[in-house]
């Protein structure tokens, strides 16, 4: 992946021998020129180009194929690497799949895809390494385990597993003399974020600005890794920022943090960002009140009735606050899921006008709940 290649390039002056594990089977070397000529924009061409660039820079880069979640494939790849390159000095586990998406919308399959390379992948590596222990196993975890983040539930859980694994295995020598889990803050490289936040352009733009300002550079990343590996506890946070700065970024910057505490004053609101939807002003009191709560909680100067909540910079944290305000004003017990299902003022207003027009769980009206309770009591009496 991106960081693995960047670190390999950083190591070039040491002329290292690297076994690069990838789940893609590359064409044999004697076909590389043909592949580059025939499909220059294909994924194979991209990987071949990266390998050639590394080799030209002095890295002895050997590609191996295995899905890291497949214990047999990982064992076979490690054995082959051992045979061809000699004993390994260490294994860096960087395989990962970006999470991204509100828990309410995550399917089991999508969450499993995020968990697999970190959990099943680490266990498969451990199984293979038990037969051939190495001096070092370094796991690439993420600081989301400490600071949270937008739609990161499965990703945070996957990385928390790495941290726990390192704490449990370091010093046992069963698979490696040292097992470290480095929980990285955002790197300057941004492919990860670009993919994970494809549905939230405003948030993504803010995250990219943050990465450009406070992200970890390739050189700083290698420096941190070298120091962590040389000495230090099995679980380390490596950030390009202070923990407070990263926390503010992850949970929502300035205005959103204030929002949780009760709204952003009108003079400090930012202009409505450019959106795919043209601005359309609220058309009745219901829409007007919902838009005002959003403006107040999101710190945006005006909200159109078709503006998507998450494109305005909304996060699940702010969503909780919005829902609490709207529940109290309209006397209806809304659930956060209602906002995720109806993420515009116009769509939410429909729910206010007809509260029964939504999934009964988790957001039910008090009246509906009372009705349900009455029916349940009557049924018990009849029995
Ligand atoms: N970039 C950051 O800012 C950042 C911050 C904190 C932590 N990290 C961690 O650092 C690691 C590397 O990140 P990155 O930015 O380099 O991401 P990346 O470019 O997406 O690389 C991840 C790589 O893992 C591979 N992979 C996923 N599942 C696999 C599997 N089952 N078997 C084999 N390979 C698999 C992917 O292969 P495919 O191309 O086939 O999908 C991809 O090449 C990740 O574990 C991430 O959690 C990154």
Cα gap 317→339, rounded to integer Å: 12
pLDDT computed for residue 257 by the predictor: 40
CA of 258 to the centre of ligand 1 (A): 34
CB 2 within 8 A of CB 189: yes
CATH topology of domain 255-370: 1.10.1200
Q: Which residue among 22, 23, 116 is best mutated to probe the pocket of ligand 1, counting the most ligand atoms within 8 A of its Cβ?
A: 23
- 131-169 tens-digit pLDDT: 999 999 999 999 999 988 767 899 999 999 999 999 999
Q: E strands along the chain, which residues?
A: 17-22, 60-65, 90-93, 134-142, 176-184, 235-238
In three-state secondary structure terms, 176 is strand
The CATH number of 2-252 is which of 3.30.420.40, 2.60.40.1120, 3.80.30.20, 3.40.50.720? 3.40.50.720
Per domain, the residue ranges of the chain are 2-252, 255-370
Query: For 283, left (φ over 0), alpha (ψ -120 to 50), or beta?
Result: alpha
CA of 233 to the centre of ligand 1 (A): 24
Q: Which residue among 95, 152, 246 is best mutated to probe the pocket of ligand 1, counting the most ligand atoms within 8 A of its Cβ?
A: 95
CA angle 125, 130, 134 (to 5 degrees): 80
Residues of the chain with pLDDT under 70: 100, 104, 150, 193-203, 251-262, 357-383
pTM above threshold 0.85? no
Atom of ligand 1 nearest to the CA of 116: 31
- 311-342 tens-digit pLDDT: 898 877 788 778 888 988 998 888 888 898 89
CA-nearest residue for atom 9, ligand 1, is 140
CA-nearest residue for atom 41, ligand 1, is 97
CB 179 within 8 A of CB 233: no
């Amino acid at each position: 992946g991106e960081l693995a290649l960047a670190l390999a390039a950083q190591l070039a002056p040491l002329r290292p021998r690297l076994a690069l594990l990838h789940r893609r089977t590359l064409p044999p070397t004697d076909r590389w020129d043909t592949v580059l000529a025939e499909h220059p924009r294909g994924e194979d061409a991209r990987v071949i180009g990266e390998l050639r660039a590394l080799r030209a820079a002095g890295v002895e880069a050997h590609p191996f194929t295995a899905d890291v979640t497949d214990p047999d494939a990982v064992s076979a790849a490690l054995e082959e690497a051992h045979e061809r390159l000699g004993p390994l000095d260490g294994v860096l586990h960087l395989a990962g799949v970006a999470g991204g998406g509100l828990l309410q919308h995550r399917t089991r399959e999508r969450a499993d895809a995020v968990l697999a390379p970190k959990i099943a992948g680490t266990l498969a590596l451990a199984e293979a390494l038990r037969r051939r222990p190495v001096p070092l196993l370094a796991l690439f975890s993420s600081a989301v385990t400490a600071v949270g983040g937008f739609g990161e539930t499965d990703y945070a859980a996957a990385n928390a597993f790495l941290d726990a694994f390192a704490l449990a295995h370091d010093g046992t020598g069963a698979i490696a003399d040292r097992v470290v889990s480095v929980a990285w803050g955002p790197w300057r490289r941004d492919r990860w974020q670009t993919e994970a936040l494809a549905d939230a352009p405003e948030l993504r733009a803010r995250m990219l600005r943050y990465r450009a300002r406070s992200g970890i550079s390739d050189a700083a990343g290698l420096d941190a890794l070298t120091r962590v590996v040389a000495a230090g506890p099995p679980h380390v946070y490596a950030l390009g920022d202070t923990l407070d700065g990263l926390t503010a970024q992850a949970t929502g910057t300035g205005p959103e943090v204030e929002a949780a505490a009760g709204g952003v004053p009108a003079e400090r609101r930012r202009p409505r960002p450019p959106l795919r939807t043209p601005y359309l002003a609220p058309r009745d009191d219901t829409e007007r009140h919902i838009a005002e709560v959003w403006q107040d909680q999101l710190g945006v100067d005006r909200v159109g009735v078709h503006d998507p909540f998450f494109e305005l910079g909304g996060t699940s944290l702010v969503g909780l606050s919005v829902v609490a305000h709207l529940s109290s004003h309209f006397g209806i017990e809304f659930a956060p899921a209602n906002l995720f299902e109806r993420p515009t003022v116009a769509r939410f207003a429909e729910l206010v006008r007809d509260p029964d027009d939504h999934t009964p769980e988790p957001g039910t009206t008090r009246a509906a709940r009372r009705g349900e309770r009455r029916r349940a009591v009557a049924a018990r009496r009849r029995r």
